[in-house]
Structure 1
Amino acid sequence: MKLRTILIHDPHPTSLVVTRNMIHSRDGLRVGGESEDFDRLLVLGKNSMADMLVMEIGEFGEIAEADDAERGIANLAVFHLRFPSIPILVLSRRDETMYARMAVRMGARGYVMKHEPQARIADAVQTVLSGRVYLSRAATHHLLMGQVGVRIGIFRGFNGDVSRLSHRELAIFRLLGLGLSADRIADSLQVTIRTVYTHSSSIRKKMRLERSTNLSSLAEAWLHRTP
């Protein structure tokens, strides 16, 4: 049996230990690295040959603000851009009906909540390792509702299709949807602000939008809303 290497990112030390023990208890799996902060995770991603990342998106304790979860989701998008070959499973306390769709649109391959039985969490790990997507029935329903397309306001012609965007353009589009400014996107992706503007201009042309404000609004609608 091939040994599969898993990275764990979880700012909550107790939860990190539980996830580590669960992985160690499964045949064919091993923990290749652990992080409690995102900078450490990026180092692990660069220096490892990991088969998968199990990631918590809640950044600051058990009771956190909504924008803290969105910061975690932005980190997910950055990790996915830098290491696209490492599939990501979100293992979180955060309500899947609120965040699973956003996580998947940011590049995650699955979402499972920490209160689920360990056997189900282990099944989610194996599902993502096999190249498939893991979501609960409730999360799947919410995701499919969003895939119907965003038809609001000036974007009635947009059906949710972002397939024309390049990998880098999609990363910028995702971060615009979270409300990040151009300079914060440049810092997150470690590119110049000129590069962000160039890609944003290309995205606007592909989406047939006239103004930058329209692009930010469309990205926010695509990420957050259902019809």
Structure 2
Amino acid sequence: MQRTRTSEKSVKRIVLIDDHPIMRHGLAQLIRAEDGLDVIGEAGSAREGLDVVAKLRPDLAVVDLTLPDKNGLELVKDIRALHPSTQCIVLSMHDETLYGERSLRAGARGYVMKEEAADHLVAAIHKIISGGLYVSEALNARMLEQVTGATRSKATGMDALTDRELEILALIGKGVATKIIASQLSISARTVEAHRAHIKEKLGMSDGAALVRYAVQWVESRAKV
């Protein structure tokens, strides 16, 4: 069915950045079924995603956190810095209690867990395009408590890790060597070691073996989500 001239003018253009083709296909069908929305491009990595955004200049990018070449949080930061007219929403399998606020701080306008995409993604897209933010009621309540001072306790454990430290922890858990981590993230091996030391300190660990065990268990637990 052809769109009317009016709807063609108002249609919002979206790109999908996710390394799973089947997931992109399903998301594209979900979004295109909604009047006023269209998927104009797809990418399976952060590098491809940035290229697609630069070429197509979409209204919004749906970004997965786990990409083969770069953390999705860093991609959101790149998109917002280089193409501020393109809004971002993070769609991830990972628990929003750890990544929701981080995504908003990176520049995303919303966070939706993949298991809730069928029920909430389209509504989230409409809200963001209209100038709003979209998070779950639980995360919204948590953020309001922090703003109003209801919870002022210092961040501890995983919450205390920076985005980069969290990224490095995930790579450690996947068995990636320090030199490879340094190369992948375009930083020095010494910087990676400094991050490892900070992670151990924040997680209350005294040695590298304990950190590796923790990282492996954490990565495995995320994979089961």
User: TM above 0.5, one fold?
Assistant: yes
Aligned residue for 2:102? 102
2:88 is aligned with 1:88: yes
Q: Distance in 2 between matches of 1:119 and 1:94?
A: 17
Secondary structure class of the residue paired with 1:115: helix
What letter is aligned with 2:72?
G
Write the distance in 2 (CA, Å) between the matches of 1:82 and 1:117.
Answer: 27
Q: Which residue of 2 aligns with 1:30?
A: 38
Question: Does the 8 Å contact 1:8/1:55 carry over to 2?
Answer: yes
Conserved 8 A contact 2:18-2:24: yes
Mapped partners of 2:73, 2:146: distance in 1: 17
Higher-Rg member (1/2): 2
**Superposed displacement of residue 96, structure 1:** 1.0
Structure 1 residue 20 corresponds to structure 2 residue 6? no
Which portions of structure 1, spanning 4 or more consecutive aligned residues, are displaced by more than 4 angstroms? 145-153
Q: Please say which of residues 117-126 and 32-41 is displaced more in the overlay.
A: 117-126
Alignment of 1:1-227 (within 5 A): 1=7, 2-59=10-67, 71-116=71-116, 118-147=118-147, 148=149, 152=154, 178-179=164-165
5+ residue gaps in structure 1? Answer: 61-67, 154-175, 189-212, 221-227
Deviation at 1:82, TM superposition (A): 1.3
Q: Which moved more, 1:95-104 or 1:110-119?
A: 110-119
Considering fraction of residues, name the structure with more helix: 2
Structure 2 unaligned spans of 5+: 1-6, 156-161, 169-181, 188-194, 203-225
SS in 1 for 2:141: helix
TM-score of the superposition, structure 1-length normalised? Answer: 0.61
- State the secondary structure of the residue aligned to 1:134: coil
Aligned-residue CA RMSD in angstroms? Answer: 3.5
Count of residues in Structure 1 that have an aligned counterpart in Structure 2 = 163
Q: Please say if residues 64 and 91 of structure 2, whose CA atoms lie closer than 8 Å, have aligned partners that are also in contact.
A: yes
Structure 2 length normalisation: TM-score? Answer: 0.61
Deviations 1:82-119 (A, max 9, x none): 11211101111111111100000000000111111624
Alignment check: 8 A CA contact 2:77 2:107 kept:
yes
Aligned partner of residue 71 in structure 2, secondary structure: helix
Identity %: 26
Number of the residue aligned with 2:3: none
Distance in structure 1 (CA, Å) of the matches to 2:87 and 2:47 = 18
* Equivalent-residue separation in structure 2 for 1:37 and 1:133 (angstroms): 25
> Which structure is higher in RCO with an 8 Å CA cutoff and minimum separation 6?
1
Contact (CA 8 Å) 2:88, 2:110: kept in 1 or not? yes
